[in-house]
Amino acid sequence: MTFDKDAFVKAAREAVGSPQPTKAVRALLEETIAQTDPQAIIDSIPLGDEEEIMLFEDEHASIWFCRFDPSVVLPPHEHKMNVHIGVLRGGEKNILYRREAGTLKHIKTKTVNPGEVLSLGSDGIHAVTADGDEPSYALHVYEGPLMQIKRSLFDWESGEEIEFTMENFYAMQKPSAEFSVG
């Protein structure tokens, strides 16, 4: 089955606006991934050198297409809203944290494989990379305006909150060879 990006965006916006948005968005992602050739979805989004492409954002929803490289670990960050991640190809490794006494405590690491969906709550904090040797590709649906809110990154060692800016985000990335969960 082919992928209609505009139809997906419309359906995701409706799901986010439903009485049970978490359930509706998860169901949409699961159905989309199960019924659509993942490569058709990937091919429909011209990434170029970009790793993350915003497909849509308004005051209720943000919809992104994300490609994560296995050689880089993105820094711990929060979204301050529910997010649903539907993986198309490769594994997306989510290193999950909790704030505890002003520091970050590693809770667990969850790899989301192709065809799977992971939902993180509004209090979720994670670092992200691709699992294995190949990039991961996924659709991310946020229950809110991701780029319009103030949110934080967290220092790898101290857990100190740092303003989320794209400059800080890129500066805090780590080569995966230097990363260890502690």
Angle of CA points 103, 143, 122, to nearest 5°: 20
CA atoms of 153 and 162, how far apart (whole Å): 5
* Structural domain count of the chain: 1
Domain span at 95: 5-178
pTM, two decimal places: 0.92
Residue 123 belongs to a domain with what CATH number?
2.60.120.10
Q: Which alpha helices (H) appear in 36-171, and where do they start and end?
A: 38-43, 166-171
Per-residue pLDDT of the chain (182 residues; tens, 9 = 90+): 678 999 999 999 999 999 999 999 999 999 999 999 999 999 998 877 788 999 999 999 999 999 999 999 999 999 999 999 999 999 999 999 998 888 889 999 999 999 999 999 999 999 999 999 999 999 999 999 999 999 999 999 889 999 999 999 999 999 998 877 65
CA atoms of 107 and 78, how far apart (whole Å): 15
Picking from 84, 112, 89, the residue whose alpha carbon sits closest to that of residue 37 is 89
Residue 33 in tokens: 């991934």
List the beta strands (DSSP E) in 27-71.
Answer: 52-57, 62-68
